Amino acid sequence: MKFSKNRAWVLAIVALIVVGAWYFYGGNSSGVRIVSARVTEGPIVRSVTATGTVNPVITVQLGTYVSGPIIAIYKDYNAPVTKGQLIAKIDPSTYQVTVDIARATLANSKAQLGKDEADLDYKKLTYERDSALYKDDAVSKDALDSAYSAWQMDVAQVKLDRANIQQQTANVKAAEVNLNYTNIVSPVDGTVVSRNVDVGQTVAASFQTPTLFLIAKDLTKMQVDSNVSESDIGYVKQGQKATFRVDAFPDRDFEGVVAQVRQAPITVQNVVTYDVVVSVENPELLLKPGMTANVNVVTASKGKVVRVPIDALRFSPPGQPPADSAALDGAPGRQTRVWVLENRKVTPVTITTGLSDGTWVEVADGDLDPGERVVTDEIRTATAHPSGGSHSGPPGMMHMPH
């Protein structure tokens, strides 16, 4: 019983000592908690993200050159078509009549030519006969000149008839071309993506050709037209690898290659973007025209480098100058400082930055080894207890008194 009382007194005295020490050495002063992270080795991948739309590589808008009602449609949505295949027909009645009239006019011109050629032969014989009689003084000079004039007029008339025939032949060809335009044929091998007309609908070809069908040339080869911001476009080059996802397949990454970086700017509400075309194979036909794609273009990558968190570059102790803003943006080749935590002390180490992905920065040069701890932040606390002091922070945070 006596032993238990002595033990209780000892525990009470120890508790008082601990509380007093906490009060005098920590409770009445504010603290600084240092947040640190380890220097590691690993990959760094710099990429540019953008949103885009999946489109066929070649899409043909098939319209009509002539007007009239649609009397037949031979191909519907998703139907495969070949070049020159008939897919719709406009009522040809009016254009057939025009062809018949042109052909009749041509036949009339040819008949007129035959008549004038026969008259030309007669006028030539008359002139030759009068020429012989004139030598014998059987006809007057005036009669000879009149015969010659009639002959030359028929020569000119025959030439006029032949020119008229050429004109009428051209009219026939033009009428036949318009008649042929009533047959809507596919200009390429491909697939019908959309159809904008129905049987019985009248199409009017005026200043703007109406689009009847939209034909994708090859749906096994697609492209993503993505809008990259002007701040990122400098990193994007032709031939770089890209991945993207679509909402239809959220867990699948589609791979592609940057095929083109177009120079034409796209300005919407003073925001400038550029069209980056990513080509992608689509053998399974999973990608559909018009899908929204979230694109990630890999602009640079390194496999295994010494790296530090970019927050370590942002940290500067009180009274120290801030880091180079270019280094904060991850610009390669910039010298800056990081603060290494060792034995409860922080010391500056000069490094040269390399590649950055926005989270990690490569240490291209500098006395910094994997495993060391660099300071990324400090948190100052002064939480008062009931006696007016303060207490230390949560577990895992290092407390450094002033």
Condensed to tens digits (0 to 9), the pLDDT of residues 59-87 reads: 999 989 899 999 999 999 999 999 999 99
160 found inside a domain? yes
Q: Which of 340, 293, 392 is nearest to 50 (CA)?
A: 293
Mean pLDDT of 229-244: 93
Final residue in a domain of this structure, among 303, 329, 344: 303
Give 330-381 pLDDT, tens digit per residue.
567 788 888 898 887 888 888 888 888 888 988 888 888 899 899 888 887 6
Considering the domain architecture, whether residues 315 and 295 belong to the same structural domain is answered as no
Q: What is the DSSP letter of 234?
A: G
Q: Round to whole Å and give the CA distance between 90 and 64.
A: 9
pLDDT at 324 over 70: no
Mean pLDDT of 287-308: 92
315 found inside a domain? yes
Q: What is the DSSP letter of 209?
A: P
Give 35-61 pLDDT, tens digit per residue.
889 999 999 998 999 999 999 999 999
Check: CB of residue 372 under 8 Å from CB of residue 342.
yes
Residue 184 host element (H or E): strand 183-185
Tell me whether strands 249-268 and 241-246 are parallel, antiparallel or unpaired. antiparallel
Considering the domain architecture, whether residues 328 and 360 belong to the same structural domain is answered as yes
Q: Round to whole Å and give the CA distance between 235 and 217.
A: 32
Considering the domain architecture, whether residues 257 and 333 belong to the same structural domain is answered as no
| Per-residue pLDDT, 322 | 73
The pTM assigned to this predicted structure is: 0.65
- The number of beta carbons lying within 10 Å of the beta carbon of residue 39 is 21
Q: Round to whole Å and give the CA distance between 74 and 168.
A: 34
Phi (first) and psi of residue 24, to 5 degrees: -80, -30
pLDDT at 1 over 50: no
Give 384-397 pLDDT, tens digit per residue.
444 333 333 333 33
Q: Which CATH number belongs to the domain containing residue 267 in this structure? A: 2.40.30.170
Which residue reads 């028929």 in tokens? 154
Final residue in a domain of this structure, among 283, 303, 323: 303
Considering the domain architecture, whether residues 267 and 322 belong to the same structural domain is answered as no
pLDDT at 267 over 60: yes
| Domain span holding position 166 | 92-181
| Per-residue pLDDT, 33 | 82
Q: Round to whole Å and give the CA distance between 368 and 253.
A: 36
pLDDT at 3 over 80: no
